[in-house]
Amino acid sequence: MLGIPVRGMIVMGVLAAAGVMYVANNLKTAEPAAAAECKVTVIADILNVRSGPADTQPIVSTMPRDAVTRAERTVENGYRMLDVGKWVHEEFVTPTSDSDCG
């Protein structure tokens, strides 16, 4: 057929199909972004990070004003959980504009 061996036609067909699949995959729209995580900015001069959600809990560290950190959506007793064993008073942090703190 047109002087091209059958084997050559098969190889060309496979390459053409692979090319079409590649182009089609690159034209896909991006996957929807995952839900924005919760990030907060410290608005106190120095923020005490406590081991539990109460002012009677020991201070485990401090954070300076304008520090930005990841936080959980969990709020208990007026304290927002940053991580296991790390809580800050909700009054002294504010969610960043691009976060979803629920």
* pLDDT of amino acid 6: 73
**Considering the domain boundaries, does residue 21 fall inside one?**
no
Name the percent of the chain lying above pLDDT 90.
62
Q: Is residue 49 part of a domain?
A: yes
Return d(Cα 79, Cα 82) in angstroms, integer: 9
| Residue 79 counted as domain residue | yes
pLDDT of residue 4: 67
Domain membership flag for residue 13: no
Higher pLDDT, 18 or 61: 61
Q: Structural domain of residue 62, as residue ranges?
A: 38-95
Tell me the per-residue pLDDT of 51-87, one tens digit each, with 9 for 90 and over.
999 999 999 999 999 999 999 999 999 999 999 999 9
DSSP-assigned beta bridge partners for residue 57: none
Q: Which of 25-29, 30-34, 98-102 has the highest mean pLDDT?
A: 98-102
Q: What is the longest distance spanned by two Cα atoms in the chain?
A: 88
Q: Does the residue 72 lie in any domain?
A: yes
Band the pLDDT of 45: cuts 50, 70, 90.
very high
